[in-house]
């Protein structure tokens, strides 16, 4: 599993359904926006490992301003959005290949497992909606953006 993590002061995700008004499916205050991609050999163990990393990733400032606190320490929220494009291969040509991205039948249950693992740890988690076009808005804090791979 691969994730792009952004420290935010706030964020929201809206789902765009055909011939309907956009629907907000998730909103958070201070915390992390997590864009998550799944590849073919990922399983529940990777989802649990990523959940643990996300909860304990020390990218929030302490009293001295050093990045030394995590969501577990601060009570920060998480907005988890599926993002198959994180596995884009752009080495050849001008059109990305998404062969390395797992199909929705594999990815959706693993992202649900990731969210369930985060919630089981006491985190407040909002999500997008799988297999839909989404718009994510956020206020990046810092800015701080990191990549994780498990």
Catalytic residue selected from 9, 74, 85, 135: 85
DSSP state of 42: -
Q: How far is it, in rounded angstroms, from Cα 9 to Cα 64?
A: 19
Catalytic residue selected from 15, 39, 84, 127: 84
Residue 48: how many CB atoms within 10 A of its CB? Answer: 17
Catalytic residue selected from 9, 83, 98, 130: 83
- Catalytic-residue membership of 83: yes
Nearest residue to 75 (alpha-carbon basis) of 6, 28, 22:
28
- Catalytic-residue membership of 130: no
Q: How far is it, in rounded angstroms, from Cα 129 to Cα 84?
A: 13
The SS3 assignment for 83 reads: coil
- Catalytic-residue membership of 85: yes
Which are the catalytic amino acids?
83-85
């Amino acid at each position: 599993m691969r994730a792009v993590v952004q420290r935010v002061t706030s964020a929201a995700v809206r789902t765009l359904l055909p011939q309907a008004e956009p629907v907000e499916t998730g909103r958070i205050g201070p915390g992390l926006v997590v864009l998550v991609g799944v590849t073919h050999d990922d399983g529940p163990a990777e989802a649990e490992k990523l959940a643990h990393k996300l909860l304990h990733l020390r990218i929030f400032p302490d009293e001295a301003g050093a990045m030394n606190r995590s969501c577990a320490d601060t009570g920060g929220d998480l907005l988890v959005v599926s993002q198959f494009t994180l596995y884009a291969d752009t080495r050849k040509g001008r059109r990305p290949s998404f062969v390395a991205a797992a199909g929705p039948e594999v990815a959706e249950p693993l992202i649900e497992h990731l969210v369930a693992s985060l919630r089981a740890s006491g985190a407040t988690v909002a999500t997008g909606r799988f297999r839909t076009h989404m718009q994510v808005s956020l206020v990046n804090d810092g800015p701080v953006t990191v990549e994780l791979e498990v």
